[in-house]
Amino acid sequence: MVQDKKTAEFFATQQRDISVSEFFEKNKHLLGFDNPTKALLMVVKEAVDNSLDACEEARILPDIKIKIKTKDNEVYTISVEDNGPGIVKEQIPKIFGKLLYGSKFHKLSQSRGQQGLGISSSVLYSQLTTGHASRIYSRTGSSTKTHLIHMRLDTMKNEAEITKEEILSEGDRNSMKNSGTRFEADVIGRYRKSQGVDEYLEQTAVANPFAKIEYQSPDGTELNFSRAVNELPKEPKEMKPHPYGVELGILMRMLKNTKSRSISNFLQNEFSSVGSTSANEVVKISKIDEKKSPHDFDRDESEKLLKAMQKVKIQRPPLDCLSPIGKDALEKGLKKLYPNAEFIVSHIRPPEVYRGNPFIIETAIVYGGDLPKEDSIKIIRLANRVPLMFQAGAGAANEAITTTAWKRYGLQQSGNGIPSGPAVIIVHMCSTWVPFISESKEAVAPYPEIVKEMKLALQDCGRHLGMYLRKQQKAKQETRRLHIFEDYFPLFIEISKELAEIKDKIDVRPLIENVINKGLVEDKEIPGEKQSRSSSGED
Segment 131 to 190, residues that bind its own copies, using CB under 8 A: 131-132, 138, 140-141, 155, 179
Nearer to another protein (CB atom), residue 343 or residue 489: 489
Least spacing, CB of residue 470 vs another protein, in Å: 18
Binding mask 329-368 for its own copies (x = CB under 8 A): ----------------------------------------
User: CA nearest 286: which of 267, 262, 302?
Assistant: 302
What SS3 class is residue 224? strand
Asked if residue 391 binds its own copies (CB under 8 A), the reply is: no
Helix (H) or strand (E) holding 489: helix 448-499
One of 37, 58, 223, 280 touching its own copies (CB under 8 A): 58
Nearer to its own copies (CB atom), residue 32 or residue 368: 32
The answer to whether 160 and 97 are in contact (CB under 8 A) is yes
Radius of gyration of the chain (CA): 32
Least spacing, CB of residue 437 vs its own copies, in Å: 8
**Binding window for its own copies (CB under 8 A); candidates: 54-62, 280-288, 415-423, 483-491:** 54-62
Query: What does the DSSP assignment read for 311-375?
Result: HS--PPPPSTT-----HHHHHHHHHHH-TT-SEEEEEEPPPEEETTEEEEEEEEEEESTTS-SSS
Asked if residue 497 binds another protein (CB under 8 A), the reply is: yes
Beta pairing class for 63-70 and 212-216: parallel
The answer to whether 116 and 104 are in contact (CB under 8 A) is yes
Query: What does the DSSP assignment read for 140-186?
Result: -STTS-EEEEEEEEETTTTEEEEEEEEEE-TTSTTS-SSSEEEEEEE
One of 76, 96, 101, 390 touching its own copies (CB under 8 A): 101
What SS3 class is residue 455? helix
- The separation between CA 278 and the C-alpha centre of its own chain, rounded to angstroms, equals 34
**Binding window for its own copies (CB under 8 A); candidates: 92-100, 261-269, 410-418, 463-471:** 92-100
Nearer to its own copies (CB atom), residue 342 or residue 439: 439
Asked if residue 513 binds another protein (CB under 8 A), the reply is: no
Least spacing, CB of residue 99 vs its own copies, in Å: 9
Cα–Cα distance, 216 to 299 (Å, whole number): 58
Nearer to another protein (CB atom), residue 298 or residue 529: 529
One of 17, 90, 298, 539 touching another protein (CB under 8 A): 539
Tell me which DSSP letter residue 243 carries: G
Least spacing, CB of residue 512 vs another protein, in Å: 10
What residues between 113 and 132 interact with its own copies by CB under 8 A?
115-116, 124, 127-132
Least spacing, CB of residue 499 vs its own copies, in Å: 46
How open is the CA angle 327-332-337, to the nearest 5 degrees?
130
Least spacing, CB of residue 6 vs its own copies, in Å: 5
Asked if residue 405 binds another protein (CB under 8 A), the reply is: no
The answer to whether 57 and 107 are in contact (CB under 8 A) is no
Looking at residue 483, its amino acid is H
**Binding window for its own copies (CB under 8 A); candidates: 7-15, 205-213, 218-226, 284-292:** 7-15
Nearer to its own copies (CB atom), residue 143 or residue 534: 143
Asked if residue 521 binds another protein (CB under 8 A), the reply is: yes
How open is the CA angle 74-75-78, to the nearest 5 degrees?
130
Nearer to another protein (CB atom), residue 219 or residue 478: 478
Alpha carbons within 13 A on the beta-carbon side of 309: 27
What SS3 class is residue 443? coil
Beta carbons within 8 Å of 160's beta carbon, 6+ residues apart: 92, 93, 94, 96, 97, 98, 151, 152, 153, 154
The answer to whether 278 and 312 are in contact (CB under 8 A) is yes
Asked if residue 527 binds another protein (CB under 8 A), the reply is: yes
Looking at residue 489, its amino acid is F
Binding mask 440-479 for another protein (x = CB under 8 A): ----------------------------------------
Cα–Cα distance, 82 to 60 (Å, whole number): 10
Count of residues that bind another protein according to CB under 8 A: 43
User: CA nearest 43: which of 178, 154, 134?
Assistant: 134
One of 489, 505, 513, 517 touching another protein (CB under 8 A): 489
Binding mask 395-414 for its own copies (x = CB under 8 A): --------------------
One of 159, 166, 202, 303 touching its own copies (CB under 8 A): 303
What residues between 81 and 100 interact with another protein by CB under 8 A?
none
Q: Which residues pair with 160 in a beta bridge?
A: 153
One of 73, 91, 142, 224 touching its own copies (CB under 8 A): 91
Nearer to another protein (CB atom), residue 106 or residue 474: 474
Least spacing, CB of residue 537 vs another protein, in Å: 5
Beta carbons within 8 Å of 300's beta carbon, 6+ residues apart: none
Beta pairing class for 180-188 and 159-168: unpaired
Asked if residue 173 binds another protein (CB under 8 A), the reply is: no
Beta carbons within 8 Å of 481's beta carbon, 6+ residues apart: 521, 523
One of 40, 54, 119, 334 touching its own copies (CB under 8 A): 54
One of 415, 475, 502, 517 touching another protein (CB under 8 A): 502
One of 289, 320, 487, 513 touching another protein (CB under 8 A): 487
Give the residues lining the site for another protein (CB under 8 A). Answer: 481, 484-485, 487-489, 491-493, 495-502, 504, 506, 508, 511, 514-515, 520-539
